[in-house]
Structure 1
Amino acid sequence: MTGTEYGLRHGDYTAVITARGAAVRELQFRGRDLIVPFPAGGPNPDFRGVIVAPWPNRIPDGRYTFDGADYQVPVNEAGRQCALHGFTPELDWKLESSTESAVKLSCAIEPGPGYPFTVGLTASYRLDVDGLHTTVAATNIGGNTAPYGVCPHPYLLAGPAPLDEWTLEVPARKFLEVTPERLLPVALRTVVDHEFDFRTPRMIGATKIDHAFTEIAFDADGGSRMVIRDPGGTGVGMAWDRSCPWLQIHTADKEHPAPNRLGLAVEPMTCPPDAFNSGQHLVRLQPGASHEASWSIFAS
């Protein structure tokens, strides 16, 4: 259940943030949905809008090795036998502060099966003329170095046309090939001459994507952004900083009778799938140390 909610407003933007999972339940610009919303008071389908930590994406079989020790976290993706999206989506975050246009929530990941570490997190949301800005800060409040990663999980909406008709732009040169059944990492591939090359904006069409992209182009200020546009002229985009060198894109494909391709999941990630095993871009959070990652969603 979504629990307590916090409504935000600034200019043409409004947002609703839930205590459960620190999720963005609704984000609108001039009354237009920028993300796929979900009903108040009920369950959150497909992790919509949540903060994902301490690992983004999945760990196969829930098993990983860190600093020479083997761990087993609970498997919550039965079909693929993976541990998916960490612990924070199911936590109730508590209010730290709020104004008309901003809210700050916090939670703690306590030691548990397969993750004997203590990490405190804050999620700060702020609306301004440029959209919804989020910063997630993590601090290791335990006595041992903790593996850590984070990402958001919104499903973006460009407009009323079907997703197939949207135009997508993603400034990434490589993507992570995955196994077809379990979506486990295989190898990095170039997007050149591949259907995943969206460096120049083009229509998504029937392309199915559930992959992580990297070698992202950042500007001189250390920022990057992606945009999707509806043929009717509306659009939505996401921006992030160098704390997130990976970007998961998912066209939200579902088998009938589930609703298919409702929106485009866009997840700036601090590390790739299964980073707890590969160690790639994995944050080693030392006792007392902190880490921050930031991103924004905006109307285009």
Structure 2
Amino acid sequence: MSFEIFKQQFGDLTEYVIHDTSTENRCVVIPELGGVVRQLSLRKGLTLFSLLKTPPTPNALVADTKSASELLFPFASRIPEGKYKFLGKEYELEKNEDGGLNAIHGLVRKNHFHIDEQSVHEDHAAIQLSYSIDNAKGYPFQVHFSVRYTLHVDGRFELKYEAKNNGQAPCPTMFGWHPYWVLGNEDVEAWKINIPSKRLVTFNENLIPIGTEPFTMEMPTLLHRKEFDNCFIMDAAGPHAVTELISKNQDVTLRIQQETGEGKFNYLVVYTRPQRDCVAIEPLTANVDSFNTGDGLNILAPGHSVDGTVTVSLV
């Protein structure tokens, strides 16, 4: 059997490694730090690509405020001033964004996740983690959040989340994953991106949605001298939408496939950092500030659940 799961230390943090010994493909997860994926390495031909840019030291990872590779639940991105209205009631979340203006990126990041399951099979290995929200400040609901990471023998990495309402009242939920992607040591300027969208969200100066407009840029487009900090509405002709990050020089394409359709990943944020050292490609189940607008928001009745899958591969 070529798959294994083992523990190792990263400073004071304990990591769990899903490893395919035949290809050296691996996924490194830290349950005690919000279930964050610290490393993802996948092979294309003779080259093993390390695909995620995350802080390089344990202390830097703990102190990171940019949410590199973190799981964002029950909301992602910003809620202005942390205030929202749900089913006629007003709520106020902690304003935890740098500068203290907005609530940002949910309530599970940095928290200690429980390890529910580890499984090793001939063709895949997986680890499942979970965290329960119980009457948090500004979010007085009971929601069980879980994530399952799977590495397949054909090189696919899969992230599947599920949220279940364990409370007595309906609750709002939104999920996003926040990875920063790299392709070898090559500069961002050399890559192309293919975004499966014809419509983007327009923001005000506080990066809060104020509408939408057509997205007419020809795809794929070279990232040279192009800046993105946008939320896109996915073209959902089928059950999936695929964003591609393409390196022609290295003959490799990173494919990020998000499940689309009712309640699924129908939005996507793309962000190019000023350092030009990576590209954030962030699948979202709802629009920015959906707790106020309702755009894509999942409302879970008591006892009900929602789930969705993101799949990463190299071609």
Under a length normalisation based on structure 2, what TM-score does the superposition of the two structures give?
0.86
Counterpart for residue 16 of structure 2: 6
For residues 272 and 188 of structure 2, the distance between their equivalents in structure 1, rounded to whole angstroms, comes to: 8
Shift of 1:166: 0.8
Gaps of at least 5 residues in structure 2 are 1-10
Shift of 1:94: 1.0
SS at match of 1:83: strand
Q: CA offsets per residue over residues 139-171 of structure 1, 9 Å max, x none?
A: 011111111000111111133221122100011
Counterpart for residue 226 of structure 2: 207
Among 261, 281, 285, the alignment partner of 2:300 is: 285
For 1:241, the aligned partner's letter is: E
Gaps of at least 5 residues in structure 1 are 254-259
Q: Give matches, 1:85-100, under 5 Å.
A: 85-100=105-120
Q: Give matches, 1:1-300, under 5 Å.
A: 3-10=13-20, 11-12=22-23, 13-19=25-31, 20-30=33-43, 31-39=48-56, 41-44=58-61, 45=64, 46-79=66-99, 81-100=101-120, 101-128=125-152, 129-180=154-205, 182-192=206-216, 197-198=217-218, 200-219=219-238, 222-232=239-249, 233-242=251-260, 243-253=264-274, 260-300=275-315
Counterpart for residue 257 of structure 1: none
For 1:3, the aligned partner's letter is: L
Q: CA offsets per residue over residues 167-203 of structure 1, 9 Å max, x none?
A: 00011010111124x21112101012xxxx25x2120
Shift of 1:25: 0.3
More displaced 10-residue stretch of structure 1: 96-105 or 236-245 = 96-105
Whether the aligned pair in 2 keeps the contact of 1:157 and 1:235 (CA below 8 Å) is no
Please identify runs of 4+ aligned residues in structure 1 that moved more than 4 A.
Answer: none
Whether the aligned pair in 1 keeps the contact of 2:81 and 2:101 (CA below 8 Å) is yes
Calculate the aligned-residue CA RMSD, in Å. 1.7
More displaced 10-residue stretch of structure 1: 201-210 or 66-75 = 201-210
SS at match of 1:277: helix
Whether the aligned pair in 2 keeps the contact of 1:164 and 1:206 (CA below 8 Å) is yes
For the structure 1 residues 273 and 120, does the alpha-carbon distance in structure 2 shift closer, same or farther, using more than 3 Å as the test?
A: same
For the structure 1 residues 9 and 118, does the alpha-carbon distance in structure 2 shift closer, same or farther, using more than 3 Å as the test?
A: same
Under a length normalisation based on structure 1, what TM-score does the superposition of the two structures give?
0.90
For residues 165 and 12 of structure 2, the distance between their equivalents in structure 1, rounded to whole angstroms, comes to: 27
Counterpart for residue 4 of structure 2: none
